[in-house]
Structure 1
Amino acid sequence: MSGQHAAVRDLADEAYEHLLAADRLTTAELEKLISRADRNYGPMFLDEAYAEAKVTRETVTALVGGVWSSAEFPDRQLDHDTWRWLFDAAGFTVDGERAPRPDSSMTLYRGSVPERRTDWSWSRDRAVAERFAAGMRGRGQGRLWVCEVPPAHMLAVNTERDEDEVVVDTRGLQIREVPR
């Protein structure tokens, strides 16, 4: 392990110890612990804090979308059942604020390798999905996928990273490859 990785791990361990020792945490306190640890620890920290009643449902509402969006491969950080539980607790959110769920289906796009086509990060912007399909951010080259997503499957919208991301529970949805 490189020195840099060891330092990140030490900070994450220290932040996790603070999380475990706390009786209650405010939204700001949990955000601070997550930022000290590393963005990829956010899902585990949020799950632990909510499961142990260290934070309120309002904290989950404020953080779950951003924690999802910030983590690299969030589908691998927690299983889908745990994510469903957290998003259900939060209600539908747009950039960390509770919002009315869309009232009609949306055509959404995802760029990924075939084995990851059912992961939950989708975009309303086809160009964003095409960039991911082309292999951006160190990902392998993939394909472009499209899905008509009913409102009940939309869990959150995150626009803060210029990806126009919609978090989608893909269970039972028909996902089609877009021909090149």
Structure 2
Amino acid sequence: MADQFVDLADEAQHKLDTATVLTTDQLQHLIGLAGRIYGPAFLAQAYSDGKVDNGTVRALVGNVWSACEYPDRELDRDTWQWLFDVAGYTEDGELAERPTEPVELWRGSVPERRTDWSWSSDRAVAEKFAAGIRGRRPGHLYRLVCPPEALLAANNDRSEAEFVVDTAMVEHLIEDASAD
């Protein structure tokens, strides 16, 4: 069974490598064939190689980020920043007006990952992550009143009320809210 998945990932990579131009649907199909952990690398490669346009990046970057369980393990932050800059601020894959006021956000994680980029506007979601959801180690609950300029995207398709945040801009504003 594992060989079948490797074959599909290899097939998808070959199709990506040999394509000259891809539509959003075609790239989405290749990511689906390869598996969600390959989404970040496929999107970055397709855009870097000029095989997709800004609209495809805009349509896919939020979902690719959200679907990949540990997106910062698949691409470095500079590459993610580049992709989010290309896309502009998006909500569920659509170009959107960035909020004009700060947004209260929450994150549940171990202390060493408190500055990762996935945050939630739903405290209950963050509390589940802080408790150690899906095999993660239990951690702390963090709160951030995030200025709009640090918001990169909003993703609601996984019922996590997720915001992607450039935490380099706001690290000094992150509070440990575990005792609240």
TM-score by length of 2: 0.96
Supply the RMSD in Å over aligned alpha carbons. Answer: 0.9
Residue 138 (structure 1) shift: 1.1
- 2:89–2:98 CA contact under 8 A, matched in 1: yes
Q: How does 1:26-41 map to 2 (within 5 A)?
A: 26-41=23-38
- Partner secondary structure for residue 171 of structure 1: helix
- 1:147 maps to a residue whose letter is L
5+ residue gaps, structure 1: none
Q: Give aligned-pair identity as a percent.
A: 56
Structure 2 residue 5 is matched with structure 1 residue 8: yes
**SS of corresponding position for 2:167:** coil
CA offsets per residue over residues 119-177 of structure 1, 9 Å max, x none?
10000000000000111111111110111111111010000100000000100312111
Query: 1:52 matched to which residue of 2?
Result: 49
Aligned length, in residue pairs:
177
Q: Would you identify which runs of 4 or more consecutive aligned residues in structure 1 move more than 6 Å?
A: none
- Which residue is equivalent to 2:83? 86
How far apart are 1:67 and its partner, in Å?
0.3
- Residue 122 of structure 1 aligns to a residue whose secondary structure is strand
**Deviates most, 135-144 or 62-71:** 135-144
* 2:156 aligned to which of 133, 142, 159: 159
In structure 1, what is the Cα distance between the partners aligned to 2:98 and 2:169? 19
State how 1:1-180 maps to structure 2 within 5 Å.
3-4=1-2, 6-173=3-170, 174-180=173-179
Secondary structure at 2:164's aligned position in 1?
Answer: strand
Task: Give me the whole-angstrom Cα distance separating, in 2, the residues matched to 1:106 and 1:15.
Answer: 39
Unaligned regions of 5+ residues in structure 2, if any? none
How far apart, in 2, do the equivalents of 1:138 and 1:83 lie? 25
Separation (CA, whole Å) in 1 of partners of 2:166 and 2:5? 31
Give the 3-state SS of the residue equivalent to 2:29 in structure 1: helix
